[in-house]
Structure formats: structure tokens, C-alpha cells
Chains A and B, each alone.
Chain A
Amino acid sequence: QVQVVESGGGVVQPGRSLRLSCAASGFTFSSHYMHWVRQAPGKGLEWVAIISFDGSYTLHADPVKGRFTISRDNSKNTLYLQMNSLRPEDTAVYYCVKDRSNAWSFDYWGQGTQVIVSS
């Protein structure tokens, strides 16, 4: 069955960096676009970034553009989110999400990894 498992979250000071990972299994990872979506405490969902199946195309939401970078390693079936210059407003649960091909929707979600940015 499809599984995506995030890791790498934690508590970090403002201005520091963190790298999230997402291990995928149960599907042909290299054939699917992937997303990161986040959810601040008690708030709604916010799309963060997308990457094409081969990594040649990426797009980031305005609030994280220039600070976050999505990438992937298809040989390891792993998705990444490099987060630099973190701000308190980046505090959220970060979800790794498989894209539903040709439907531009969020197909399978991991359980999320918590990121807390605080001094």
C-alpha cells in the first residue's frame, strides 16, 4: 500500500535551518509529482511546494520562496524540504503528499512532522 513517512522535524531557533525527509513506498515514486503542505497549530492547510517526477520542475509558495527548497532522490525514493532562514510563522506540521496524476490533487498524505521555530 502507498506510504509516505516524514522525518526531520524538531525545535529550531529563528534564522536557523532544518531539512525534512519523506520516505515513499508502495508506488512508483519516480513517476509522480510530489508536494509539501503545512498546517500551523489550530489553522488550515497551506500548500508549500511541488516537484516534478524527475526533479526538473519545482515551484514554491510565495511565503517560502527563496528560503525553502524542495528536492528528491528517486534512487532512494525520498523527498526533501530544505528550510533555511526559518521564522516563527513557519511553525507547523509539514506533510509530504503524493500528487494524484492528471488530477492536480493531493492523493496520499503522510502523518506529518512537527516543526517549531522558537527562541
Chain B
Amino acid sequence: QSALTQPASVSGSPGQSITISCTGTSSDVGGYNYVSWYQQSPGKAPKLIIYEVTNRPSGVSNRFSGSKSGNTASLTISGLQAEDEADYYCSSHTSRTTWVFGGGTKLTVL
């Protein structure tokens, strides 16, 4: 199972919005609504921020939102804050009942 495709890096200024894409196939992203997103700060464990494409766990800021169109899922962060600077990973359940991650996107807040 190939990794999902994410941009290596994105950047934005405080207060702006950014979007990170996550492209897979009909066997993963396009075939299931089990796309999730994770935030990983340096030296820390990943944290779930979006599950089932659009849902936020309790306690996650509503500045984080998810969507999907076809084989591509997206994470949007609005009102960028310095604390959002981290690596972001998407993940999808697959037709082989396994899971695949994206390669990760480094977000820099300018």
C-alpha cells in the first residue's frame, strides 16, 4: 500500500488560513469516510485532530476543519496561530483493512 500524498511543507502568517491536501486512491481515501488527521509537535506524540473526514474530537479547536472530494482529503486551519506550527499527517483506512498514512506536511507559521 503506497503512502498517501501530502505536500512536504506549507506556510502562512498568523491569522491567515492554510489548507493541506492528502491524495490517495479509490482503495483508501476515495472509498471510505475513515480519513483522519494528526498534529505532531517536535519531540511529541501525534494527536488526533480530525476523524471520519470532518469530525473534531472534544477539545480540538474549531479552527481545524476537514473535507474530502473524490480521492483527495483536505485539512484547513483558519486563524493561524504560532502554536499551530507542527507536522501534520493524514491517514485512511484501506480496502485491505489496513491503514495508510501520508508522508507528512511541515507547517511553518511565518
Contact = CB atoms under 8 A, between A and B. Distances in A.
A59 B91 CA distance: 17
A44 B3 CA distance: 10
Q: How large is the interface on A (under 10, 10 to 19, 20 to 34, 35 or more residues)?
A: 20 to 34
Contacts of A110: 45
Nearest to A45: B101
Given A103-B34, A105-B91, A106-B48, A46 B55 contact: no
SS of A interface (majority): strand
Interface string A50-81: 10000000010110000000000000000000
Interface string B77-110: 0000000000001010100011111111000000
A111 B45 CA distance: 5
Given A100-B48, A105-B48, A105-B52, A45 B89 contact: yes
Contacts of B57: 100, 107
Given A44-B89, A109-B45, A100 B102 contact: no
Interface residues of B, number: 25
A18 B102 CA distance: 28
Interface string A96-119: 000010011111111110000000
Given A44-B101, A45-B89, A103-B34, A95 B45 contact: yes
A59 B99 CA distance: 11
A27 interface: no
Interface of B: 1, 3, 32, 34, 36, 38, 45-48, 51-52, 55, 57, 89, 91, 93, 97-104
5 contacts: A35-B99, A45-B91, A50-B99, A105-B48, A109-B45
Interface of A: 35, 44-47, 50, 59, 61-62, 95, 100, 103-112
Pairs A-B, 8 closest by C-beta atoms:
A105-B36, A47-B99, A105-B51, A109-B45, A104-B34, A104-B93, A45-B101, A44-B104
